[in-house]
Chains A and B, each alone.
Chain A
Amino acid sequence: MFNIQKAVSRLNFAPKLNEIEITDIKNGIGAFTPKAEKPVSYAALKETLKKAGYTLASAKITVNGKLSRDASGWALLSDTSGQRFALEGEGVELALPDVSPNAQVEVTGDWKTGGEGKEVISPLPAKKAARSHNENGDNPAQTEYVDVTSGGPMEAGPPPVAPIRTTSPGLTVYRGGAFTPRYIYLRQTLAGLKVDRHIMLLDFSYTPTPKLLVEAEIPVTRISFKDGTTSGGGEGIGNVIISGKYRFFRQVEAWGDRQAALRFGLELPTGNKGAPDEQQLQAPAFVRQQLSPISGGLSPHVDLTYSQAKGRFIFGGNVEGVLRSERDGFRMGHELRVNTDLEYVLFPRKYDRPGGEVFAILESNFIRRGIGRVAGAPVPGSSSTEYYLAPGVQYAMRPRFVIEASYQIPVARNTEPQVLRIERGLLVGVRLLY
């Protein structure tokens, strides 16, 4: 904004810098009233903006003055500067109905500089000037008005691309690294069994190149259960996932970023496999195994993600596949996940620099899980199809500090008899970028 004001204020017909108003930062629109006695030039305006790195897309001007007509057509003589503006374009006659030469009018129209420095207005419908204005001879304070549209990106802060959230299906690849501790609470049930799962997910990521992000996720889990007659619990580290995400597509537009990335991850068999035994919990082995911090052994993850911003909305979606292998004969079924993420930028209402952004979020998660195994054998009744919605909010307090929270609600759960059902989930996290 400041650079546009500064560039325009260099012109001899421009007012002081602080009198040049930027009316729309996002679209680069500004307005100013030129000095009354100075002739104006569209070409000069365009040139000074070009010098500052901007492209003048179009300009509108309003001039109060006296009409004249000669062999070359209609013209307008400014009351204040005496400058002559040629009135051209198909709409001139239409725009100046019932007017005759010497009539006092106010003309607004598209402004250009024609050949030989001739200033040209293609008018919109004109207004006859108020009689009192003619009689007392005063000129209005704002005799001319220029509306400048700059096609170039603004200064001060990254270009006005839509702010991008950093959670799932997060694509943002920062230079440097990030540490994202997240707390996740899940309430699961199965018949009379109630399970509370508290997960502290420690996520470390680093960006060695602008398109590549490497990441390690370390879950630390505490589980407690009760089934009316007995209760118990356990805790431990879960399976660590290491992954690399490659952003293969990115198109940056003003509030219209589009990007896509492919992620490969490997879930390592690092987790605590301890689960309650039959004496601690009267339940089938597959159910008891689900009360450990792990879902199986070494498991590759593949994830394709796309996100698109449009205006204040951001949409993201990803498809993820997890191929599970057994650990000591146990694994949950292979997984297919389809996640979508719709965001709305609540604040700021006018985006001019990063930070202080508040997003309203609605995530959806579809999970199809195949048949699991225990003791090396398939377990009938262990597959599931689930669909959840998670409204949430994210606050990017500073470009490198983000706080987020969401609440997961089940919408549809077609879980077979041996699968724990999620009743609700809560996520609270922060992201620190360094």
Chain B
Amino acid sequence: MTRAAVSATLLVALFSFVLGQGERPAPKLELKDVEGRALRLSDYKGRVVLLNFWATWCAPCRAEMPDLVKWQREYKGKSLQVIGVTYPPEELTEVCEFIKSIKVNYPVALGYEQTKAMFDKGETLPITVVIDRKGMIREVIQGIIFPEEFEQKVRPLLR
């Protein structure tokens, strides 16, 4: 085997390895938002989507939401789309009251345990799924998403 062939093989292997690091197409997801309207993930193709799983009873979830609101406002022009998905058990009135109180500026859908399980099998909340413009899952950020993580894992996709 020539040196070029070995290099090519290595490159292909490396490429496969990099691609294998969590990148997969986002599943088809259709939910109802808090006002009962249909919300389809596929409608946001072409945008960088942050799919944020949260619950009103989860203190870290509530703590990170003002940052999500801020990022949605600042990067809307760069095609960032935050989508909130609640995790049960939830009470619709509490969800509505909370998102109103912090002026959430992105859609919030009512999710189920199975919805979160499509992206992450763990128990941690919140989680934020980073989906690129092509609809590929680039990252599943477990726990609260801190500003430095946004800078490192989301900002590069917005360029």
Which residues of A are at the interface with B, using a C-beta cutoff of 8 A? 2-3, 6-7, 10, 50-54, 152-159, 174-175, 209-210, 353, 399
- Quick one: closest A residue to B147, CB to CB? A51
Known: A155-B124, A155-B126, A155-B143. A3 touches B60 (CB 8 A): yes
Is B10 close to A, CB under 8 A?
Answer: no
Are B61 and A155 in contact, CB atoms less than 8 angstroms apart?
A: yes
| Distance (whole angstroms) from the CB of B154 to the closest CB of chain A | 17
Q: List residues 112-159 of chain B with CB under 8 A from any CB of chain A.
A: 123-126, 142-144, 146, 148
Asked whether any CB of chain A lies closer than 8 Å to the CB of B91, the reply is: yes
A2 with B91, Cβ < 8 A, contacts A10-B148, A159-B57 known? no
Q: Say yes or no: A51 contacts B125, CB within 8 Å.
A: no
CB distance from B145 to the nearest CB of A (A): 10
Q: Given A6, A10, A54, A353, which contacts B59 in the complex, CB threshold below 8 Å?
A: A54
For B89, the chain A residues whose CB sits under 8 A away are 158, 174-175, 399
Count of A-B contacts with CB under 8 A? Answer: 73
Tell me how many residues of B have a C-beta within 8 Å of chain A. Answer: 25
Give Cα A53 to B146, complex, Å.
12
A155 touching B60, Cβ below 8 Å? yes
Quick check: is B93 within 8 A (CB to CB) of the other chain? yes
Residues of B within 8 A of A158 (CB): 55, 57, 89
Describe A's contact surface by its main secondary structure: loop
Chain B, residue nearest A161 (CB): B57
Measured CA separation A333–B46 after assembly (Å): 71
Closest Cβ–Cβ distance, residue B121 to chain A (whole Å)? 13
Cβ–Cβ < 8 Å partners of A175 in chain B: 88-92
The smallest C-beta distance from A52 to any residue of chain B, in angstroms, reads 5
Mark each residue of chain B from 73 to 89: 1 if its CB lies under 8 Å from any CB of chain A, else 0. Answer: 00000000000000011
B10-41: contact bitstring with A at CB < 8 Å (1 yes, 0 no)? Answer: 00000000000000000000000000000000
Chain B residue with Cβ nearest A51: B63
Closest to B126 in A: A155
Nearest B residue (CB) for A154: B59
Closest residue of chain B to A54 (Cβ to Cβ) is: B59
B102 contacts partner chain A, Cβ-Cβ < 8 Å: no
Shortest beta-carbon distance, A397 to chain B, in Å? 14
Kindly list chain A residues whose C-beta atoms are within 8 Å of the C-beta of B144. 3, 6-7, 51-53
Instruction: Give the docked Cα–Cα distance between A54 and B148 (Å).
Output: 19
User: In whole angstroms, what is the CA distance A154 to B124 when docked?
Assistant: 10
CA distance A241 to B20 in the complex (A): 58
Could you say which residues of chain B place their CB within 8 Å of the CB of A174?
89
Return chain A residues, CB-CB under 8 Å to B125. 155-157
**Is B123 a contact partner of A353 (Cβ separation < 8 A)?**
yes
Q: Across the interface, do B93 and A157 meet the contact criterion of CB distance under 8 Å? A: no
Query: Are A53 and B123 in contact, with the CB atoms below 8 A?
Result: no
14 contacts between A and B (CB under 8 A): A2-B124, A3-B144, A6-B143, A52-B60, A152-B59, A153-B59, A155-B143, A156-B125, A157-B125, A158-B55, A159-B57, A175-B88, A175-B89, A175-B92
List 3 A-B pairs, minimum CB-CB distance, nearest first: A53-B63, A53-B59, A3-B60
Q: Does B8 contact A (CB under 8 A)?
A: no
Q: Are B143 and A53 in contact (CB under 8 A)?
A: no
